[in-house]
Structure 1
Amino acid sequence: MGLASYPLKYLARKVFGDVEIGSAFEDPFFEEVEFEKRSFWSGSSKIVKKRRDKSIPDSIPQADGKILRRVRKRAYSLDMKFHIFGIRFGWLGVIGILPVVGDILVLWLSLQVYKEAMKINGGLPPTVSAQMITNIAVDFGLGLVPIVGDLVSVCYKANSRNVLVLEKHLKSKYNRLAAPVTSTKRTPVMQ
């Protein structure tokens, strides 16, 4: 981890608390899986952890799964594509450096991710939509502050947060629909 990343992470922790995207906390793009690895020569085995692309839950229909996958892919390239000094940033961090025009372009790209998320079956409910718009607005507001705002905006990762919001909504929506409905009413028996 580079020396330059400590002040940025300290600042991000002070501003946003312990919520980090893409670290030991919930990662919207990757999951860690364990598997047993056997040695060819000795036959001994050990448990190995490896990162892989996060899978789409089986309860989510294929059409909504494709949308979630596209939103993840866009958000990853916008928020976390590059890695320098232990800090992950994406195209929004690069574009955001441009004064005013960069901030407007960042807002437009983030709204494109939101627009893609709106295509899910039945659309987004108002609460989820408000959460996603708030993340975009906070990121845009932070980006307007010269230099420091761009650095904090890189740490905020609004699109990655929106991926987590969308995934949580889809999981709860389709888990609720898949849950069996139990009735407490007793049906009278005909004689």
Structure 2
Amino acid sequence: MNAVVGILGKKALGRLKDKDVQTNSENPYMEKVPVLNQRGEITKYKERERPLPDGLSSNDKKILQTVRRKAYKWDMSFRFCCFSSRFGWSFFIGLVPFFGDFVDLLVALYIVKTCGKIDGGLPKTMYGRMMWNIMMDFGIGLIPIVGDLADALFRANTRNAWLLDAYLTEKATALKTGRVQDPDTGSTVAVTEAIVAAPPPSRRVTDVEMATAQQPLNNGARR
């Protein structure tokens, strides 16, 4: 399982690099699609929610949709007439010295925690890259005034949403084909849904439940 997850993580990082996605400025939640007239000419563009990769579990789809939406809300949900760049709640909260930066940090950590709830979890390389984005964003935001503007353009949450998107896209492809190739060694590993699915969480039996389970036995002994 760890080997497959690790390979998918490496392919996801390569996917973002090869496709040259602007991970700090491209909207992870919404996309622009052309609207055609009867002659097949583009008349305008409209925004719609980005489709989810086919082949993912309902849990993975839900988490990706949630992370996309939160990253958009926190980084890109506002536009000002005098600026071409978009801003989110992170920018406004970050204007409050120190307190705002720590609130921004906690929200970013919560988003990464949400990412880790996908089936099978995140590979260490992906998790490390997300945490690096957060630490960079936090450090930049501590610089007065200039740091707040740079922080609004760095957009750690948007970067992390694209990382999760790339990983789950590679995962969906691997589940469809039933195999994944290591980009470093060229070796191919078989992939099944069970390999990249999270095992059921272990549950500790409480003392009350143990006593309840033993009660019929004790009653029977008295008889």
Bucket of the pairwise TM-score, normalised by the shorter protein: 0.7 to 0.9
CA distance in 2 between partners of 1:20 and 1:119 (Å): 22
- Map of 1:140 onto structure 2: 138
2: CA distance between counterparts of 1:88 and 1:169? 25
Aligned to 1:82: 78
Residue 36 in structure 1 maps to residue 39 in structure 2: no
Q: Residues of 1 paired with 2:147 and 2:34: CA distance? A: 39
Q: Deviations over 1:46-95 (max 9, x none)?
A: 23433211111112222101110111111111101111122211111000
TM-score by length of 2: 0.65
What stretches of structure 1 of length at least 5 have no aligned partner? 1-17, 39-43, 182-191
2:24 pairs with 1:56: no
Cα deviation 1:6-38 (Å, max 9, x = unaligned): xxxxxxxxxxxx94634xxx4312223234323
Give the equivalent residue in structure 2 for 1:175: 173
User: What's the counterpart of residue 69 of structure 1?
Assistant: 65
- Write the deviation string for residues 130-162 of structure 1: whole angstroms up to 9, x where unpaired: 011111110001001111111100000100000
Partner Cα distance (1:45, 1:120) in 2: 40
| Structure 2 gap segments, 5+ residues each | 1-20, 180-223
Using the size of structure 1 for normalisation, the TM-score is 0.75
1:10 is aligned to: none
Given that 1:37 and 1:46 are in contact with CA atoms closer than 8 Å, whether structure 2 keeps it comes out as yes
**SS state at 1:55 partner:** coil
- 1:125 has 2:148 as partner: no
CA RMSD of aligned residues (A): 1.9
- Checking the alignment, whether the CA contact within 8 Å between 1:111 and 1:136 is kept in structure 2 is yes
Matching of residues 97-116 of structure 1 within 5 Å:
97-116=95-114
Q: Percent identity?
A: 39
1:180 deviates by 4.3
> Which is bigger in relative contact order (C-alpha 8 A, separation at least 6)?
2
Counterpart for residue 27 of structure 1: 27
Instruction: Give the secondary structure class of the aligned counterpart of 1:27.
Output: coil
> Which is greater in Rg?
2
- Separation of aligned partners in 1, 2:129 and 2:142: 20
Cα distance in 2 for partners of 1:36, 1:87 equals 27
Q: Which residue of 1 aligns with 2:198?
A: none
Alignment partners' CA distance in 2, 1:19 and 1:57: 19
Q: For this pair of structures, how many residues does the alignment match?
A: 156
Amino acid in the other structure paired with 1:72 = R
Q: CA deviation at 1:178?
A: 1.6
SS at match of 1:34: strand
Residues 23, 158 of structure 2: 8 Å contact kept:
no
